[in-house]
Amino acid sequence: MAFEKRARHVVFGAGPLGRAVADAVVAAGHEVVVASRSGGDDVVACDATQAVAVAGLCEGAAVVYNCAQPPYHRWPDEFPPIQRGVLDGAARAGVTFVAAENLYMYGPVDGPITEDLAYRAHTRKGAVRAAMAREVQQAHAAGRVRTTSGRASDFFGARVTSSFLSHRLIERAARGATAWVVGDPDAPHTYTYVRDFARALVVLGVDERALGRAWHVPSAPTPTTRAFLELVAEVAGARPARVRSTPAIALRVGAAVSPFLREVAEMLYEFEAPFVVDHSRFAETFGDLATPHHDAIAETLAELGIARSKPPGR
């Protein structure tokens, strides 16, 4: 069911997910070009909002992945034009468009989060995600461009800095320091390993069964945030992690002066109640490629240069 292999895949976004997708493309036997607005030593400079430039870069490629995004607090103004530019460029070049998405469009959910849920976002960023998801689906339905979307929960990994489970939080847990989190640390919460997210996007990009639909990418079985961070400490051989919830008043004070913290506060509902993602549709269609959290944490710590210490008390 896979498309015929072609020479190049193009990845927009040189952040942690874009880099992981590039690695996954190469591992799958394809050539890859990574693009961002500013470019760099191994990154092509291309403004994702400019469809003509995107189309030129995608000429002769098989798939383009949109992993680019603006700063968190500028989503409403800057995110839609980025997607529209890559989507229109893909249509001009005749390549498959793969959107890297999250789960904000659903809003608060009571029970497992599946792809069939209605979009009931009540936040600014959720509304942006819902509108962008509809745009991708409508472009495919109209026959303008082949599209598919992979949706992940909050992801983690060595390169991940701007996440509720950033590598800095993992580093603190791995060293036995106090790990301050948002919301209820004892509420179940699905976390996605960034390399699993990337591998899943590549699977979606080269298999025609993925077209025209959104898919929840595989994640390991859902722990609580506390249990996840305690596992980090265990894998690192550190003393048990000390997990604390950031007081609501501290978030409110921080949000008054920090645009980023204002955006964090808006999404707190995801961490105050169970947030469990169902990826069974992907697993039944393409296979379950989720890395067990123990192994993903070990890989992350190795990349961060954190060696396993002697168990406490020895």
Sequence-distant (6+) residues with CB within 8 A of 138 are none
Q: How far apart are CA 137 and CA 115, in angstroms?
A: 13
| pLDDT tens figures, 195-234 | 999 999 999 999 999 999 999 999 999 999 999 999 999 9
Q: How far is CA 26 from the centre of its chain?
A: 19
Map residue 180 onto helix, strand or coil. Answer: strand
80-111: buried (b, 16+ CB within 10 Å) or exposed (e) per residue?
eebbbbbbbbbbbbebbbbbbbbbbbbbebee
Residue type, 12: F
At 216, list the tokens.
């929840």
Residue carrying the six token digits 């996840």 = 228
Q: How far apart are CA 17 and CA 163, in angstroms?
A: 12
Q: Where are the domains of the chain?
A: 8-153+192-219+278-290
CB 9 within 8 A of CB 32: yes
| pLDDT tens figures, 141-182 | 999 999 999 999 999 999 998 888 999 999 999 999 999 999
| pLDDT tens figures, 186-206 | 999 999 999 999 999 999 999
Confidence at residue 7, expressed as pLDDT on a 0 to 100 scale: 67
Confidence at residue 172, expressed as pLDDT on a 0 to 100 scale: 95
CATH of domain 8-153+192-219+278-290: 3.40.50.720
Q: How far apart are CA 238 and CA 115, in angstroms?
A: 38
Q: What is the pTM of this model?
A: 0.94
